[in-house]
């Protein structure tokens, strides 16, 4: 199977290179046979990469430890679903998986768009294959998952495709095992969603660059590309939130976002993809921001590659980055070459990218979209700067200096607050220009709602200005969303006489993009409320408790009642029993745990923790078990009470639901012919 995988990748590379040449030359000569041949080369490449991926999965599932990747990332006692997920648990396997997802996107994209895009189609194929070739070369040269293990004459072992001189095949009795931090159900699905987001952003880039290459620069692509950007945007959002949930329950530090380089690498392209989602509407409606949209489509893909370089080159430390490797120079070369190529192509086509209309007023829906776009891009680049600062400081000062959460919170916090505020005001503005009087009239009820919420919060919750400001903005945005729903229902009801519920359903079905966007914004509000609650009002206690001793925090009483031990297939579990009470009533028993893995990877890392967690819509009660002494008579804990945390995950679900609603194909009503009675003919 290793030979099959290697040969499949090699053939895929050869065929992909042919497909690039056939597509570009065929498009230049307008040779249909050649362009079709290039398209078929993409299909063949996809089939071969799929075969290679299946081959590696087979090696992992069957525990073929003669394969270096399997021996390094699996073990005999590893549960089957973790053996399956080991494909993306290491550098080489994850890059192959990346290529596999790219082939799936490419095939689906070309199947849907080939006939609709006769001029762009061959260029689309060529661009997708160029990206695929890059990953195939890395897989073959720098991160090959099909290397065998060989034992040399001196007793050392090496990984190689072919037998080195004097070496013999080495099959270890067991593998090193998967990293314990990856043996969590979120890490089975989180990378899949993350890659579906990362790789999917290749498609809008291919749409934009193929438009530049073909010279077909009309506004039609703006409508076609929207869904191809929204789908990876939603996957990336889900992947980010799943990663936050993993960090929340697995790392045991009480938080959900640490501005870690790997976290930032996923957030940065999501921000520019969000900007693109907004600005593409302006091109559809007014024929504006054509250059801006080209840049955003390319930038989202390019920042994915930059983030991948950061996390896979080993140049920046992270709790879940990959180790130092030789893929870094290849990624850096690709980053530079693609950037230069895009700038040259954009400059060449710049005269044909003039806007159809000008911005008529600084107070209009177009201007609000533009302000939001600028803020998203600024947020992306200040986050990128903070992430790359260790490299920058080492380059100019000789020492790596990392910036921490205070930098990101102080810089990104106000930007996100401004974006949130514009989310509330923007929908109330008209196209072209808005009357200040009309805007004030539309804002009266949302502002009244925000002031009422602020008054209640000030009297009963907090007098701290920062959370009051943030929650006040959230209340304003919520008020504008509710006002927009009410206005739509009222207009529909007045026109048709339908009841309020039917009017709501009909107005949403007839304006999916608009009301789907409002649902997404509602999810954003929920996440913002949760972030403020969990960061501004978190309670924390570090303590050691003897058997049956209690500690108190935020109105809760925590009593340590003993240890219990369990054995899983590849690790031992020690759990602490913590009785939780509030107001004299038992809330429940939490079981925070420590996991001790038997594998080499587990011994190198040491024990891992999984928190005991009780979530309600009001707050999370969160207990970390840090160790014990005297046969369990003394145990160390860290306890958190995180207000409103559950709303973060609910908000993420609501955002994904809004994206799905925007894309869901609604049945179109077909006008029916009505047979009228025939009037009698006059005599």
Please, how many CA atoms are within 13 Å of residue 288, restricted to the half-sphere of its CB?
17
Q: Report residue 581: phi and psi, to 5°.
A: -130, 150
Q: Taking the mean position of all CA atoms in its chain, how far away is CA 186?
A: 14
**Cα(426)–Cα(410) distance, rounded to whole angstroms?**
25
Q: What is the pLDDT of residue 471?
A: 95
DSSP state of 67: B
Between 266 and 429, the more confident residue is: 266
Q: What is the pLDDT of residue 669?
A: 53
* Lowest pLDDT segment from 310-324, 409-423, 456-470: 310-324
Q: What is the pLDDT of residue 369?
A: 85
- Cβ(55)–Cβ(4) below 8 Å: yes
**Which one, of 471, 510, 463, 466, lies nearest residue 489 by Cα?**
510
* Element at 567 (helix H, strand E): strand 556-567
- How large a percentage of the chain has pLDDT more than 70? 95
Task: Read off the pLDDT of residues 192-223 as tens digits, 9 standing for 90 and up.
Answer: 999 999 999 999 999 999 999 998 888 888 88
- Please list, residue by residue across 358-394, b when 16 or more beta carbons sit within 10 angstroms of its beta carbon and e when fewer do: ebeeeebbbbbbbbbbbbbbbbbebbbebbbbbeeee
178-181 long-range Cβ contacts below 8 angstroms, 24+ apart: 178/73, 178/74, 178/75, 178/78, 178/82, 178/86, 178/89, 178/599, 178/601, 179/89, 179/601, 179/605, 180/571, 180/595, 180/597, 180/601, 180/602, 180/605, 180/608, 181/250, 181/319, 181/320, 181/605, 181/608
Task: Read off the pLDDT of residues 20-77 as tens digits, 9 standing for 90 and up.
Answer: 999 999 999 999 999 999 999 999 999 999 999 999 999 999 999 989 999 988 989 8
**Cα(466)–Cα(417) distance, rounded to whole angstroms?**
11
**Which one, of 399, 256, 263, 379, lies nearest residue 319 by Cα?**
263
Q: What is the pLDDT of residue 159?
A: 81
- pLDDT beyond 60 at 305: yes
Tokens 């969603």 -> residue: 193
Mean pLDDT, residues 317-322 = 54
- How large a percentage of the chain has pLDDT more than 90? 59
Q: Tell me the chain's radius of gyration from C-alpha atoms.
A: 28
Q: What is the pLDDT of residue 130?
A: 97
- Cβ(247)–Cβ(235) below 8 Å: no
- pLDDT beyond 90 at 394: no
Q: What is the pLDDT of residue 681?
A: 47
**Cα(428)–Cα(471) distance, rounded to whole angstroms?**
20
- Please list, residue by residue across 276-301, b when 16 or more beta carbons sit within 10 angstroms of its beta carbon and e when fewer do: bbbbbbbbbbbebbbebbbbbbbbbb
* Lowest pLDDT segment from 83-97, 134-148, 168-182: 168-182
- pLDDT beyond 80 at 308: yes
* Lowest pLDDT segment from 195-199, 389-393, 515-519, 571-575: 389-393
Between 671 and 7, the more confident residue is: 7
CA–CA distance from 542 to each of 254, 525, 626 (Å)? 12, 32, 10
| DSSP codes of every residue in 235-258 | HHHHHHHHHHHHHHHHS-SS-S--
Q: 149 - beta bridge partners?
A: 159
Longest dimension (CA), the chain: 116
- pLDDT beyond 90 at 675: no
Tokens 């107001």 -> residue: 583
- pLDDT beyond 60 at 319: no
């Amino acid at each position: 199977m290793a030979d099959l995988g290697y040969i499949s990748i090699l053939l895929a590379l050869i065929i992909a290179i042919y497909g690039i040449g056939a597509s570009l030359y065929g498009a230049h000569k307008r040779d249909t046979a050649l362009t079709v041949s290039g398209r078929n080369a993409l299909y063949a490449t996809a089939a071969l990469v799929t075969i290679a991926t299946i081959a590696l999965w087979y090696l992992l599932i069957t525990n073929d430890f003669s394969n270096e990747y399997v021996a390094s990332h699996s073990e005999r006692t590893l549960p089957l679903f973790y053996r399956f997920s080991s494909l993306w648990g290491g550098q080489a396997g994850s890059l192959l998986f990346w290529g596999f997802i790219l082939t799936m996107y490419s095939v689906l994209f070309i199947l849907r768009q080939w006939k609709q895009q006769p001029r762009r189609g061959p260029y689309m194929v060529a661009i997708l294959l160029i990206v695929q070739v890059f990953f195939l070369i890395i897989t073959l040269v720098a991160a090959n998952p099909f290397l065998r293990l060989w034992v040399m004459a001196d007793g050392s072992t090496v990984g190689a495709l072919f037998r080195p001189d004097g070496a013999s095949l080495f099959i270890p009795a067991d593998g090193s095992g998967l990293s314990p931090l990856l043996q969590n159900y979120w890490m089975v699905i989180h990378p899949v969603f993350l890659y579906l987001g990362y790789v999917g952003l290749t498609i809008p880039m291919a749409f934009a660059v193929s438009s530049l290459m073909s010279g077909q620069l009309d506004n039609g692509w703006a409508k076609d590309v929207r869904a191809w950007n929204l789908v990876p945007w939603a996957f990336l959002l889900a992947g980010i939130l799943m990663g936050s949930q993993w960090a929340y329950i697995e790392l045991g530090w009480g938080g959900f976002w640490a501005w870690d380089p790997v976290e930032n690498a996923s957030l940065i392209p999501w921000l520019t993809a969000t900007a693109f989602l907004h600005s593409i509407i302006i091109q559809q409606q007014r024929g504006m921001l054509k250059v801006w949209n080209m840049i955003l489509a390319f930038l989202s893909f390019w920042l994915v590659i930059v983030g991948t370089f950061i996390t896979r080159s080993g140049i920046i430390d992270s709790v879940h980055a990959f180790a130092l490797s030789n893929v870094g120079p290849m990624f850096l070369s690709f980053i530079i070459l693609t950037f230069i190529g895009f700038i040259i192509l954009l400059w060449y086509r710049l005269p044909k990218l003039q806007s159809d209309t000008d911005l008529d007023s600084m107070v209009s829906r177009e201007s609000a979209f533009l302000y939001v776009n600028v803020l998203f891009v600024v947020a992306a680049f200040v986050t990128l700067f903070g992430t790359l600062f260790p490299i920058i400081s080492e380059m100019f000062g000789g020492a790596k200096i990392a910036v921490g959460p205070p930098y990101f919170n102080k810089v990104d916090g106000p930007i996100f607050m401004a974006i949130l505020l514009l989310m509330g005001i923007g929908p109330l503005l008209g196209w072209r220009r808005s009357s200040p009087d009309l805007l004030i009239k539309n804002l009266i009820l949302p502002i009244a709602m925000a002031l009422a919420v602020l008054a209640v919060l000030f009297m009963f919750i907090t007098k701290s200005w920062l959370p009051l400001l943030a929650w006040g903005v959230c209340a304003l945005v919520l008020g504008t969303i509710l006002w927009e729903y009410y206005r739509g229902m009222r207009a529909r009801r007045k026109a048709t006489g339908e009841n309020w519920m039917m009017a709501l359903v009909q107005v949403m079905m007839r304006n999916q993009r608009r009301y789907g966007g409002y649902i997404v914004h509602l999810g954003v509000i929920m996440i913002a409320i949760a972030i403020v609650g969990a960061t501004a009002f978190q309670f924390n206690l570090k303590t050691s408790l003897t058997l049956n001793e209690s500690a108190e925090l935020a109105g809760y009483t925590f009593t340590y009642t003993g240890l219990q031990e369990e054995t899983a297939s590849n690790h031992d579990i020690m759990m602490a029993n913590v009785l939780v009470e509030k107001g004299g009533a038992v809330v429940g028993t939490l079981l925070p745990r420590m996991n001790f893995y038997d594998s080499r990877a587990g011994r190198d890392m040491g024990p891992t923790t999984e928190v005991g967690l009780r979530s309600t819509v009001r707050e999370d009660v969160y207990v970390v078990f840090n160790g014990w002494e005297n046969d369990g008579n003394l145990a160390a804990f860290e306890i958190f009470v995180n207000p409103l945390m559950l709303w973060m995950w609910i908000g993420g679900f609501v955002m994904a639901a809004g994206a799905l609603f925007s894309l869901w194909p609604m049945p179109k009503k077909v006008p029916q012919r009505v047979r009228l009675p025939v009037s009698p003919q006059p005599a």
